[in-house]
Structure 1
Amino acid sequence: MSPGSSRRLKNVAELRMLTHPLRLRLFYALTAAEEATASRLAELVDESLSLVSYHLRELAAHGFIEEAPRRSGDRRERWWRKTHEGFSFAGSEFARDPQARGVAVAAKRQLLAHQISRLERWIDEDHAWGEEWTDASLASESLLRLTAPELAELSAELTAVAQKWAERGRVGAEDRPDAPAREHVLMFMHAFPFPP
């Protein structure tokens, strides 16, 4: 997996993988862990090992994850990692076929539900993180008047900014003993037209 690599989803079978909440949770758990065994992932998502193992095999069959090199001598232990840093898809690529459009809508809803559940957890637990993290967090909404090309340009700029900060988090600042602790930070934004 190359840093910052993203997979463009172009068929319904790939998209359908994202409509299953547990598969999506497993994908994000691997994002945080980078590499993990099925038993560790089962702990992280609080599900049975057999169910997690099944869904990991499904994700692997569709190329979202792959087996990672073994980290121990235990041959029964399989390690997993993502094949790409992330994924994207354009709803317009699925708009002509009503069934495909339905799958794309379900995938978008599942992604949004996951994001909202993380935000709700933050709202419930922000006090436990302390003032520094609470003050550093972001909640923002802007009402803009843009054309479709301007919105595309804004999207590209914001994506570039997010990628810059993702890369900064990957580069070895932790190698210094006095480096501040890094935490996983979820940032999600939505920008879309709406009738006022």
Structure 2
Amino acid sequence: MRKTVVIASNNAHKAREIAEALDFPGWEFCTLRDLGIASDPEEDADTFEGNARIKARAAREASGGRAVLADDSGLVVDALDGAPGVRSARYAGEDATDAANNAKLLDELADVPDAQRTARFMCTLVFIDEDGSEEVAHGVVEGRIGHAERGEHGFGYDPLFLPDVFGGERTLAEALPQEKNAVSHRGNALRALRARIEEGA
């Protein structure tokens, strides 16, 4: 049976990663843009799961009740009491660039020693099926924040984030895309979601 799943995002890289991770027989993925739908709800929850659910419900309504998948993710830095957290994309302001966000993070951590620069990327996925049933999955990758941007492959905070799984030697932006997907917070969340969907099948 064919199923169209609407991804509540217009990020082509994210859409491709999701489609590859959830390659169930008969499933097709499309973005809001693919359907000519505009959906930009206010993400005013104080958790990643809350914001992902806001996006999923808005996309479901806008697409006429189709199956939808939304994610929310961000960087949680221990020395900053969990900031930037749900404001990761807007850390340096509402229309902040990646460069501005990274510059602010480095500035905030300027006097923080390596041992206290622990951080993690977190991702929550909310999948609402055609019948309205919901599955939620979480993914995390632990690491620390470096002192300068390194690498050409990533985006966002990737050039500053040194994952523990790389021995703290390389940033996420220094990893090839397939390497990153194998260890990333979104990759981990997608693997967890796939397992939950398979359990319920």
Determine which structure has greater relative contact order: mean sequence separation of CA pairs < 8 Å that are 6+ residues apart, divided by chain length. 1
Superposition TM-score, scaled by structure 2 size: 0.24
Superposition TM-score, scaled by structure 1 size: 0.24
Q: Which has the larger radius of gyration?
A: 1
Q: Which has the higher strand share?
A: 2
